[in-house]
A and B are shown apart, each in its own frame.
Chain A
Amino acid sequence: MKGSKMYIQLEFDEINKSPECAVYANNELLYTGQVMNNINVNYETQGSVELAIEFTNKSPRDTLVDSKGIIVEDKNFTLTKITIDYYDLEELVWESNYVANDGNVYPSCLFFGPPGKFIINLENPILPWFVQKTKHKYNGDLPNWEEDYRYYYTACNLLKQI
């Protein structure tokens, strides 16, 4: 479905042993390859978006343990930030799940250890969703944020002309 563009910026850290990932939006593949510190993708849609990051090249051989069973080396990485259309989702990134291939679901897990998929549900355009989610924090839980958003959106479009 065509809609407005989303610019998705993913930031990763603690990348160990060349992990690979695939990034999907509503099951549409947007990226596949090495996990890098920054992966930027575009997606065009309107409405709900399921953003998924799949850990694609993890096998049991990647995890080395010592004689006591303690992991001494592993292939893994950590998601540190999601920015959509230049809005840092900040703590909203924790409103997500990591669904391991073995069926276990880890809420609010940004660590890619077991093979599986990180999933977060968003909306496009992102700003009204973001504002609604964060209005308690930034906007004093005010009832008229939608009206404010309308003015903001109009102002942004007016200024884009010049």
Chain B
Amino acid sequence: MQSIETNLSDIQLLAWTLAKATAANQLNVPGEYTWAFTEQNRFSDVRRRSLSIFSSGNSIKDPDVIEFVQNLNISKFLIDPWIVEKFQDGFRPWVTAGTNYKLNNFDLFKYIGFSAGTQESFLNYYLMNTSKRMRVFRGDYWWHMDIWEKTGVSWAYIEDDDIRVGDACICSYPFALTGDKHKHFDWLVDECNKKNVGLLVDFIYLPNSINCVNIDLSAPCIREITFSFSKTFPVQAAKIAVRMLKEKPNDPMQMSNDENICNRLSAGLAYSIINQFPIDYMVNKYKDKQTHWCTKLGLKQTKVVHFGLGDDYTNIGREDSSAWCSPFNEQQGRYNLGMLFENEELLKKVNLY
């Protein structure tokens, strides 16, 4: 098989150009976080920003979705007591309609809850498993490890020890680091079944994935699954996610759902989005663009439409860590292609397309 050579020179120039364009307000679609902006239009700030151009797993900032969201009147949802329920009712068929993955026995997950971002689901998972040791594969969502370290939760990488009774596992599928199924995922399911260990499967990138996920959700260890909106639609700061379980949970998040005090603005926004855009919207729209950029930059095309894999451009000549935000955020070989998709017009004008 022919090996792919990452075109680091072109990647660096794109990173610098987009970072500089951020500072000069020349992007077609600006960032959505303060860290996604170059602080000042000067060399040292542009340099700092250039290191994070392809970081994060966040969604493609699709202009059509942004326009749709901007034209919504979501304040009306605040006085709609049934909006969360409407969203939850609509979510299952929306997911089921997807044709790029197979969620076998999805209907076993009878209990659906609105989650303020998947982080709320994760926090509840930690809380309900305080006596257990948390386990993840290396390269999974860095936030888990960072929070466990900061809060003194017992944890270990799955690679570093056997799965044991008393563990609680989490695994993203597609896997966060690679945009593909983790090579030991099936083994992990078997081990968890044998040891009666719970496994939370985080379908974080599912809507943006193509022919990656094929899972039998009837596995006894898989009791809880999560879905994120911020990796699919540019609504990151609205904190929209869904948690589904086979058995009704008894935790703070479920209480918020039962009490009908979930964020109605976010639920209404989510409800509007699933009624407007199919779950495979991003895949259909950006698949060819992923191919274009991966070919041009010598990146391996992943099964998640906004990712490519390649050598790390951020460590060239640098001795300090380029991990963004957390020492556990070691995902520099995973390129989020979103900024390239969103700024196609700009990049064509400067002959970098």
Q: A residues engaging B (CB < 8 A)?
A: 87, 127, 130-131, 134, 138-140, 142-144, 147-149, 151-152, 154-156, 158-159, 161-162
Contacts and interface: CB of A to CB of B under 8 A. Distances in A.
A154 B13 contact: yes
A121 B208 CA distance: 56
B16 A151 contact: yes
A142 B349 CA distance: 32
Given A144-B317, A151-B15, 12 more contacts: A87-B43, A130-B43, A139-B44, A142-B318, A144-B316, A147-B317, A151-B12, A158-B350, A159-B17, A161-B349, A162-B26, A162-B346
Given A139-B44, A148-B47, A162-B349, A154 B317 contact: no
Contact of B319 (A134, A140, A151, A161): A140
A162 B16 contact: no
B20 A159 contact: yes
Nearest to A134: B44
A131 B20 contact: no
B16 A138 contact: no
A35 to B, nearest CB: 28
A79 to B, nearest CB: 22
Contacts of A140: 318-320
Q: Is the interface of A mostly helix, strand, loop or mixed?
A: helix
Given A144-B317, A155-B17, A127 B26 contact: no
B314 to A, nearest CB: 11
B350 A152 contact: no
Interface string B1-40: 0000000000011011101110010100000000000000
Contacts of A162: 26, 346, 349-350
Contact of A161 (B12, B47, B350): B350
Interface residues on B, range: 20 to 34
A26 B168 CA distance: 72
B77 to A, nearest CB: 40
Contact of B16 (A127, A130, A152): A152
B42 interface: yes
28 contacts: A130-B43, A131-B44, A138-B44, A140-B320, A142-B319, A147-B317, A148-B317, A149-B43, A151-B12, A151-B13, A151-B15, A151-B16, A152-B20, A152-B47, A154-B13, A155-B20, A155-B21, A156-B20, A158-B17, A158-B350, A158-B351, A158-B352, A159-B17, A159-B20, A159-B24, A161-B350, A162-B26, A162-B349
A139 B42 CA distance: 12
A143 B47 CA distance: 14
Given A140-B320, A159-B20, A131 B43 contact: yes
Nearest to A139: B44
Contacts of B15: 151
B317 A142 contact: yes
Nearest to A161: B350
Contacts of B12: 151
A137 to B, nearest CB: 9
B339 interface: no
B319 A87 contact: no
Nearest to B316: A144
B46 A152 contact: yes
A144 B44 CA distance: 13
B9 to A, nearest CB: 9
Contacts of A143: 317
